Amino acid sequence: MALLRTLRTGAAVAGTLLALLVPLGGTSHAAVRATCSTTGCDNLDPIDTGCAGTSATVPQGTVSAYDGQLELRWSSTCRTNWARFSPGYNYNGHYAIWVDRQGAPGVGAKTGRHFEFWGRPEDGPFWSDQLYAPGPARACVAKENGGVWDRSTCTPWL
């Protein structure tokens, strides 16, 4: 009986801790401390580096693409951008997403590494690696169609 109580108490404590770590409405990345900043974050995953914890979608940084939504994300802590894409329900397939930055003093223009994936809407959203972007940046997505990549759709330079 004592063992059963210990297991129940342990489960209750674990459930309480989980509830504190995962707020309603989604997963929080805020508890992870950033492990990079500026160009040290280039072509690294924003969640693995902790940069997603202080991220938001850039104002006017959302466009429709493939009946879904493409967003330009920004981390105020790491000073990086990345693309986040949620495909529409009629658009299962092979996608590539990436972020571009325009040149700025001390930092050259750069296209981030393309993140390719087979995506179904229920598996998303999907995100690219990040780039340090002290100046304008944009997020882009393209879909493979019969072995050929469609013309990319991008957010405005923001």
Burial 18-27 (b: 16+ CB within 10 A, else e): eeeeeeeeee
Do 105 and 92 meet the contact criterion of CB atoms below 8 Å apart?
no
Structure tokens at 123: 């598996």
Q: Where are the domains of the chain?
A: 1-31, 35-154
Is the pLDDT assigned to residue 28 strictly greater than 80? no
For 54-101, the pLDDT digits (tens) are 899 999 999 999 889 999 999 999 999 999 999 888 778 899 999 999
Structure tokens at 7: 């297991």
More confident residue, 31 or 120: 120
Where would I find the beta strands (DSSP E) of the chain? Answer: 55-65, 68-75, 80-86, 93-101, 110-111, 115-119, 126-127, 131-132, 137-145, 148-149, 153-154
CA dist 137 and 59 (Å) reads 12
For the domain spanning 35-154, the CATH number is 2.60.40
Whole-structure pTM value: 0.76
Residue 91: how many other CB atoms lie within 10 Å: 15
At 32, the pLDDT band (50, 70, 90 cuts) reads low
